[in-house]
Structure 1
Amino acid sequence: MSVSGLCEICEQRDVAHTCDRCGKLVCERHWDESHGVCVECAVQLGERDPDTLDPDDLPDGVDTYEF
């Protein structure tokens, strides 16, 4: 699938995927290949340990996330 736009997590231009759960356009860095979702959804679903994420992969603090 071809997608265009900015990564909705880091705003990079090289968007490669659309999250199957929330529909966000995300770059390769913010894509969880094994689950077909963005890294934010992977953490919310418990499929990914938040401690293993790079701080740059997490939201900028505008929204509230509880782990």
Structure 2
Amino acid sequence: MSVAGLCELCERPDVDHTCDRCGRLVCDRHWDDDTGMCVECGSEVGRPSDRVPSEDMPDGVDTYRF
């Protein structure tokens, strides 16, 4: 999708995407097709392939108790 404006990360004029998480307008260079987010949000959230599998986590880490 082509949108008007400048990339909010590098100020390039060829903006093609809007981040699904933060709403930033970003160019292809700062867009991650796999997550549908800008690279900034992708690095904050972490891509699924970057996350540690739950079987490698110590017991109780993935469990919340209230």
Q: Normalising by structure 2, report the TM-score.
A: 0.69
Distance in 1 separating the partners of 2:30 and 2:18: 10
Does the CA contact (< 8 Å) of 2:2 and 2:15 recur in 1?
Answer: no
Q: Which residue of 1 aligns with 2:8?
A: 8
Match of 1:2, SS state, is coil
Give matches, 1:1-67, under 5 Å.
1-47=1-47
Q: Distance in 2 between matches of 1:46 and 1:19?
A: 15
Distance across 2 between alignment mates of 1:7 and 1:26: 4
Q: Larger C-alpha radius of gyration, 1 or 2?
A: 2
Instruction: Give the Cα separation in 2 of the matches to 1:2 and 1:31.
Output: 13
Large movers: runs of 4+ above 4 Å = none
The number of aligned residues is: 49
Query: Any stretches of 5+ residues in structure 2 without a counterpart?
Result: 51-66
SS in 1 for 2:12: coil
Q: Which amino acid aligns with 2:11?
A: E
Per the alignment, in what secondary structure is the counterpart of residue 16 of structure 2?
Answer: strand
**TM-score scaled by length of structure 1:** 0.68
Q: Alignment identity in percent?
A: 65
